[in-house]
Amino acid sequence: MSTFEVEVFQNEYLPAGGTEVNAIVTVSSAGVTGTGDAPDAAEIVIVDTSGSMDVPRAKMQAARDATAVAIDCIRDGVLFGLIAGNERARHVYPSGRGLEPASEQSRAAAKQAVGKLKAGGGTAIGTWLRAANDAFAAAAGRVCHAILLTDGANQHETREQLEATLAVCEGRFQCDCRGVGTDWEVSELRRIASVLLGSVDIIADPAEMAADFRSMTEVAMGKTTGSVSLRIWTPQGARVQFVRQVAPTVEELTGRATVAKPLTADYPTGSWGEESRDYQVCIEVPMHQVGDEMLAARVGLLHGEEVLSQGLIKAIWTSDQQLSTQISREVAHYTGQAELAECIQEGLEARKAGDNATATFKLGRAVQLAAASGNDGTMKLLAAVVDVEDPATGTVRLRSEIADVDEMALDTRSTRTVRVGPGA
């Protein structure tokens, strides 16, 4: 199991009458070394085999090649399986509904089965996810991960059917989602990845698919601790206003809290390897007198019932305006990064709706925030959608013509953040 460390960054001082405490909680996992310490794992690759995957033909061939690359990255002993999806889900390997331990022989047999994949039919993503969930049932206690590839929207299911499936799958496995081409829905895959604690991205060129599949599988194989929760205790009279992951991506966790015991709630973070993530925690506390101090929250990392590490969020009331008006550098930075993601998504939605004034304002604000925080990756993506006249003031002009791939890349990657502090 990984060794975890929790650090808290905040300005502890509140003015007289102040009731809101903000903190950035940095969680670092050292990981473990040696395959002997690697935990039991299970991996499923879900490949869209609908008819559109044959247009152009290179798309389906790239999916076959990329899946073969992913199979080669699965370490010995890991249970794995392959699912082909159109309006149905078909277990390509193994041929039943279960999973097979990875070995030289099973990897070769799986790649042979993948080589026979053909495109045809429609798209029912929820059906594919349910099939994966059923297969993972045989892998209880393992770190379960799936890769989902599609090139189209979920045409053969209702949104309600997909949501029902996600409710069943939530907490059972994590899923990284990839859309190839430009005919899929960013909001749809983002929703799946969000609920299943995975990532979402666009593969603009099928030639990039193999490298992406390799990276996702290697990261999954590097996970050393599964089902870790962020546990937050608050004293009587205090309450959690919100909890969100803010690095490496923005992910809202507030609505996912489960009550562990009175005054204590757990927020899922999924599995961990050697990595570091940042979380923003906002606590509302009762008003106190100047000079009073209190513990606003205790934040810990939990695996099962074992507390791996913890940190404290404090509140001190002061009449010293210089102390109380200072904003923690980390809190200010990540508040801006969360707003950046929101502005991009709202700006793109406004543009689709024909509201160019709102789109210009929101995307201009996004440019201003990206420039101020040094988020060069997002700035490059924004520059493909707007002409930037003055990044400092957020003065931009919407481009009259925007390539679908550029708009989708900006939307998909809008939640990526740049780090600040020791992990930067």
For helices 125-136 and 159-169, the axis angle rounded to 10 degrees is: 20
Which residues of the chain register pLDDT less than 70?
A: 1, 32-39, 421-424
Residue 422: burial class (beta carbons within 10 Å; 0-12, 13-18, 19+)? exposed
The three state secondary structure string of 13-58 is EEECCCCEEEEEEEEEECCCCCHHHCCCEEEEEEEECCHHHHCCHH
Angle at 410 between CA 408 and CA 411, to 5 degrees: 65
CATH code for the part of the protein at 40-221? 3.40.50.410
Domain spans, the chain: 4-33+227-325, 40-221, 330-412
Output the CA torsion sign for 41, 6, 253, 412.
negative
Do 19 and 315 meet the contact criterion of CB atoms below 8 Å apart? no
Do 243 and 253 meet the contact criterion of CB atoms below 8 Å apart? yes
Measured between alpha carbons, how far apart are the two ends of the chain, in Å?
A: 25
Give the model's pLDDT for residue 224.
87
Give the model's pLDDT for residue 222.
93
Q: What are phi and psi of 133, to 5 degrees?
A: -60, -40
Give the model's pLDDT for residue 304.
87
Q: Which two tokens stand for residue 391?
A: 């990044």
- Rounded-to-integer distance, Cα 30 and Cα 196, Å: 24
> Which CA distances in Å does 318 have to 14, 32, 322, 398?
6, 44, 10, 47
- Which of 406, 417, 412, 332 shows the shortest CA–CA distance to 374? 417
Give the model's pLDDT for residue 31.
73
Distance of CA 173 to the CA centre of its chain: 13
Do 117 and 100 meet the contact criterion of CB atoms below 8 Å apart? no
Please name every residue paired with 3 in a beta bridge, in sequence order, or none if there are none.
none
- Rounded-to-integer distance, Cα 232 and Cα 264, Å: 6
- Rounded-to-integer distance, Cα 90 and Cα 49, Å: 10
Q: CATH assignment of 4-33+227-325, given 1.10.8.100, 1.10.3720.10, 3.90.190.20, 2.60.40.3670?
A: 2.60.40.3670
Instruction: Tell me which fold the domain 330-412 belongs to.
Output: Four Helix Bundle (Hemerythrin (Met), subunit A) (1.20.120)
Q: Which two tokens stand for residue 251?
A: 């992910």
Residues 6 or more apart whose CB falls under 8 angstroms from that of 252 comprise 194, 242, 244
Distance of CA 174 to the CA centre of its chain: 10
pLDDT digits (tens, 9 = 90+) for 355-371: 999 999 999 999 999 99
DSSP H/E element including 307: strand 306-318
- Which of 172, 167, 282, 289 shows the shortest CA–CA distance to 226? 172
This prediction has a pTM of: 0.94
CA dihedral 346, 206, 156, 83 (to 10 degrees): -120
Give the model's pLDDT for residue 422.
56
Residue 169: burial class (beta carbons within 10 Å; 0-12, 13-18, 19+)? buried
For helices 376-383 and 329-352, the axis angle rounded to 10 degrees is: 20
pLDDT digits (tens, 9 = 90+) for 274-292: 999 999 999 999 999 999 9
